Amino acid sequence: MTAAAWFIAGTDTGIGKTHAACTLLHALRAADLRATGMKPVASGCMETAHGLRNEDALALRDASSAPLPPYEHSNPVALRDALSPHLAAAHEGATIALPPLRTAFDVLCAGHDAVVVEGVGGWRVPLAPGLFASDIPGQWGLPVILVVGLRLGCLNHALLSAEAVRADGCRLAGWIANRVDPAMEAVEENLATLRELLPAPCLGVLPYGVAPAQAFTEIELTVLAS
């Protein structure tokens, strides 16, 4: 692996992993790094003239450095049904395995300075019998960045996810808070609690409704260099 790379995990589905990953990509590019995003496995893909395409993977590509790699490298496994990947794959008679994903990842690493790998769902989402989303960073040796959606219940979800990351032998490099609920009460108190209890530094707090191309200034890249 010739590039720096991180795995973007989430405390749950719908807490803004893609938003945070795209923001990180913009921050890396602003630091003059050739950065690209990867969504190894994606379900809920749409039919296009070029084949199945995933909205999250396309957003990652939009936030990546040019020239863009072939879509199949950015999203090697694109599944039609908006289900857990192991179910979506079973519906199509497909099996998800790590080697093809790793091949695409290695190609991306060879052509870039940094690769941001976005997971699917939460930490323990099944991909295939005996294979979970957590096995991607676990077997590839990727440090993990945890995206915490700021809403009621985020403390429990964040702490349990961090415990699982570390229990699986992965390094939690940092976490990004994402304001998914603009009406959330006691935001600063919750952030203070997360900073106190999570065993990794906060890379940034992303404001609600601000696009990654503008929000990237909230990301502190020096934390990742430590």
| Residues designated as active site | 39
The values of phi and psi at residue 102, to 5°, are -65, -35
- The Cα–Cα gap between 68 and 198 comes to 35
CB of 176 closer than 8 Å to CB of 17: no
> Which amino acid would we find at residue 64?
S
Cα distances from 121 to residues 79, 90, 183, in angstroms, run: 14, 17, 24
Widest CA span in the chain: 49
Secondary structure of residue 222 in the 3-state scheme: helix
CB of 162 closer than 8 Å to CB of 198: yes
How would you classify the pairing of strands 35-38 and 114-118? parallel
- The Cα–Cα gap between 176 and 72 comes to 28
